[in-house]
C-alpha cells in the first residue's frame, strides 16, 4: 500500500506548521530527522539509543546547572559569581562525559551489533544451579580477593548463598559480594544468576548498597530484569571463544557492562595458587569511558584475577573457603 500523500502535511500540522509558514519547513524537517533517529525508526537501533541517551545526559546536566544557579543566587552575595563559575565548569565536564559515553556506546554497538538488545528469556529453560565450568556457583563457598595499592588494602568476599530468588519468574542463585577498604565496608551487593539449558551463565540483576564514611550513601548501579526495561546479560558463555562479545547487563545509563573474550588457555599465578586453562576477558562499560579490566576465569573456580591494564593493579584470589 502506498503511503498517503497527506501524511507529511498531517505531521507538520501536528507541529503547528501550516502552508503559510515556508520558513519553518526546514526546521521541521530537521526535527523530523531527529525524531526518526531518537525513536529508533532507523536500522541502527543501537546507535539511536546511544544518541537518545546523550541527549538525556545533556538535558540532565543543564537541569542540574539551572538548579545550581538558583541555589547560588540565594547564597551569600560575595560568593555568588564564583559559585556560578564553578557550575559552568561542572556543566562542561558533564557535557564532555556525555560525549565520551556516546562514543563508547558506539564502540559497543560495533561489537554486539546494531539491533535492539532484548534477549528472549523463557523461565522454564533456566536453573539456579549454575555449573558453568568457568563460573560455577557452589552454595556455601566464599571466594576472597585482595587488592593492594597506594590507597591501602581492598578486600572482597564473594559468597554463594543457598537461597533461590525469583526474578521475573526466573529462578536465580543469589551471591553476596562485600567490599572493604582498609577494614571499612564500602559496598554490600547481592547479585542474581541463573543458567540456561545450553550452559550459559546469566546475570539477572543486583542490589548494590554503597557506603561512605560508614553510612549507606546510595544504591547506584542497582537493577533487575523486568524493571524499567532492564535486561539480563551473559556473565560467562558455556563455550567461550576468542573475540566473543556480549552484554553482561543492560539498563541504559545505569548498568551497561560488556565483555569480550580475548584469550583462552591462559596460565595465572595468584596467592591462592596456580591455575591453567583460564579464559581471559576484557570488561568495560560505556558509563566509564576509557576504563578497562582484564579478568581471568579458571575451571571449577570462576574469577581468579582482575588486572587494570592501565595501572597494572591486581585484584587476586587469595583464599577459597568452603566446598
Q: What is the pLDDT of residues 221-275, one digit of tens each?
A: 899 999 999 999 999 999 999 999 999 999 999 999 999 999 999 999 999 999 9
CA distance 282 to 293: 6
| Nearest by Cα to 162 from 184, 130, 125 | 130
DSSP structural state of residue 225: T
| Nearest by Cα to 221 from 155, 177, 170, 169 | 177
Whether residue 70 is predicted with pLDDT greater than 60 in this model: the reply is yes
Which region among 26-40, 125-139, 201-215 has the lowest average model confidence (pLDDT)? Answer: 26-40
| Residue 277: how many other CB atoms lie within 10 Å | 14
Whether residue 19 is predicted with pLDDT greater than 90 in this model: the reply is no
DSSP structural state of residue 4: P
**8 A C-beta contact, residue 290 and residue 245:** no
Mean pLDDT of the chain: 89
Given the C-alpha cell 595465572, which residue does it identify? Answer: 268
Whether residue 167 is predicted with pLDDT greater than 70 in this model: the reply is yes
More confident position, 323 or 62: 62
Q: Residues 166-185: what's their mean pLDDT? A: 96
| Tens digit of each residue's pLDDT (9 = 90 or more) over 222-236 | 999 999 999 999 999
CA distance 195 to 193: 7
Residues of the chain with CATH 2.40.360: 130-321
**8 A C-beta contact, residue 243 and residue 111:** no
* Residues in a beta bridge with 184: 181
* pLDDT at residue number 278: 98
The reply to whether CATH 2.40.360 applies to domain 130-321 is: yes
Residue 108's pLDDT band (cuts 50, 70, 90): very high
**For 266, left (φ over 0), alpha (ψ -120 to 50), or beta?**
beta
Whether residue 299 is predicted with pLDDT greater than 90 in this model: the reply is yes
* pLDDT at residue number 46: 94
* pLDDT at residue number 42: 52
* pLDDT at residue number 77: 85
- The pTM of the full predicted model, rounded to 2 decimals, is 0.83
Amino acid at each position: 500500500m502506498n503511503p498517503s500523500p497527506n501524511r507529511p502535511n498531517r505531521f507538520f500540522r501536528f507541529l503547528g506548521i501550516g502552508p503559510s509558514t515556508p520558513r519553518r519547513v526546514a526546521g521541521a524537517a530537521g526535527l523530523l530527522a531527529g525524531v526518526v533517529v531518537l525513536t529508533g525508526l532507523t536500522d541502527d537501533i543501537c546507535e539511536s539509543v546511544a544518541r537518545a541517551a546523550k541527549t538525556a545526559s545533556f538535558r540532565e546536566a543543564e537541569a542540574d546547572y539551572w538548579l545550581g544557579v538558583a541555589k547560588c543566587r540565594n547564597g551569600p552575595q560575595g560568593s555568588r559569581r564564583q559559585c556560578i563559575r564553578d557550575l559552568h565548569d561542572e556543566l562542561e565536564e558533564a557535557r564532555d562525559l556525555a560525549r565520551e559515553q556516546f562514543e563508547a556506546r558506539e564502540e559497543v554497538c560495533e561489537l554486539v551489533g546494531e539491533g535492539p538488545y532484548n534477549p528472549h528469556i523463557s523461565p522454564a529453560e533456566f536453573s539456579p544451579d549454575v555449573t558453568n565450568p568457568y563460573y560455577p556457583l557452589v552454595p556455601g563457598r566464599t571466594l576472597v580477593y585482595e587488592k593492594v595499592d597506594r590507597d591501602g588494602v581492598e578486600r572482597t568476599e564473594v559468597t554463594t548463598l543457598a537461597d533461590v530468588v525469583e526474578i521475573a519468574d526466573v529462578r536465580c542463585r543469589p551471591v553476596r559480594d562485600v567490599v572493604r577498604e582498609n577494614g571499612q565496608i564500602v559496598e554490600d551487593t547481592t547479585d542474581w544468576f541463573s543458567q540456561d539449558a545450553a550452559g550459559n551463565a546469566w546475570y539477572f540483576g543486583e542490589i548494590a548498597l554503597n557506603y561512605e564514611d560508614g553510612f549507606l550513601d546510595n544504591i547506584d548501579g542497582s537493577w533487575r530484569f523486568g524493571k524499567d526495561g532492564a535486561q539480563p546479560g551473559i556473565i560467562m558463555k558455556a563455550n567461550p571463544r576468542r573475540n566473543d562479545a556480549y552484554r553482561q547487563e543492560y539498563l541504559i545509563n545505569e548498568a551497561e557492562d560488556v565483555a569480550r573474550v580475548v584469550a583462552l588457555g591462559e596460565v595465572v599465578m595468584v596467592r591462592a595458587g596456580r591455575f591453567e586453562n583460564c579464559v581471559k576477558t576484557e570488561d568495560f562499560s560505556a558509563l566509564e569511558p576509557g576504563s578497562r579490566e582484564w579478568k581471568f576465569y579458571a575451571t571449577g573456580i570462576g574469577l581468579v584475577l582482575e588486572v587494570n591494564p592501565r595501572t597494572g593493579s591486581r585484584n587476586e584470589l587469595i583464599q577459597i573457603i568452603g566446598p
